[in-house]
Amino acid sequence: MAEIRQRKGKGPAKDESYRTAIVEELDTSESDTPAPPKPKPSVKELVTDEEEYSPWVDILRVISFLIVASCGLSYLVSGGESFTWNMRAPPKYMQLDWWKTQLRGPIYLTPAELAQYDGTDETKPIYLAINGTIFDVSSNRRTYGPGGSYRFFAGADAARSYITGCFADDRTADLRGVEEMFLPLDDPAVDAHFDAAELAALKEQELKEAQEKAHEALAHWIRFFEASPKYSKVGYVKKDKNWLDREPRRKLCESASKGRKPRKIPGTEE
């Protein structure tokens, strides 16, 4: 604001014009000062007198969104089975026992220790092993427990029986000679159609193919247990390094032997 100084005038006309100039200067100075901004109205001020803001509306919206999202996620995870997480076989990461296994780490059992988990003691889980890997099949006690159709697998590493199908006879992990079930039977009448070199090469090829079939037959079941949402891998079987040297070599079981077919004569139809 400009400083006001009183000056001596010589007459009424001069005094009047001087006062007018001062008033104009005061009005101009005050108009140059910007007016302070008005505060923004709060949420409550925007609401009319007939309405009052309530946080319960927002709370209900959040709850509704969570319910809808949960139903949609349940539908996706269960493959369309349930909207409410009520699944017959929930994924492994939704099972408490699976998380306990992950936190605890793998267990190591000898064949004798593994035999204690065959389902006869209901206070213990049911374990089976296949090619040295132990799986918990307690969720299907009716099948793998006493009296179940697959009870022969429980409490043992019965890898051989998964290939041969001889559940009772082949409750062992000894796979020596199991590929014979995929080899054709020797027949002198058929073999006479080959010279010695051809027959040797043929038998070598047949052995290679038989070993591949045996390997794939076992791998199929290993993949089954690893991928199943009902069964979890819990550990491994402890065995001596040379344990097979102390085991007598097994003959092919009767059921697997009956499945072998004679070698085909060259040029004949399958």
Q: Which residue has the tokens 């064949």?
A: 111
With tokens 């006493």, the residue in question is: 146
Residue 39 pLDDT: 64
Q: 112-127 burial string, b = 16+ CB within 10 Å, else e?
A: eebeebbbeeeeebbb
Q: What is the CA radius of gyration of the chain?
A: 44
Residue-wise pLDDT for 125-165, tens only, equals: 999 999 999 999 998 999 999 999 999 999 999 999 999 99
DSSP H helices in the chain: 12-32, 43-46, 56-77, 96-104, 111-114, 141-144, 159-164, 188-191, 196-227, 254-258
List the Cα angle 111/116/121 in 5-degree steps. 165
Angle at 115 between CA 111 and CA 120, to 5 degrees: 175
Domains parsed from the chain with CATH numbers: 43-77 (no CATH), 92-258 (3.10.120.10)
Q: Which amino acid is at 56?
A: W
C-alpha dist (Å) from residue 85 to 70, 81, 91: 9, 9, 11
Token readout for 173 is 């992990």
pTM: 0.63
For 192-226, what is each residue's pLDDT tens digit? 888 899 999 999 999 999 999 999 999 999 999 99
Any idea what DSSP says for residue 80? S
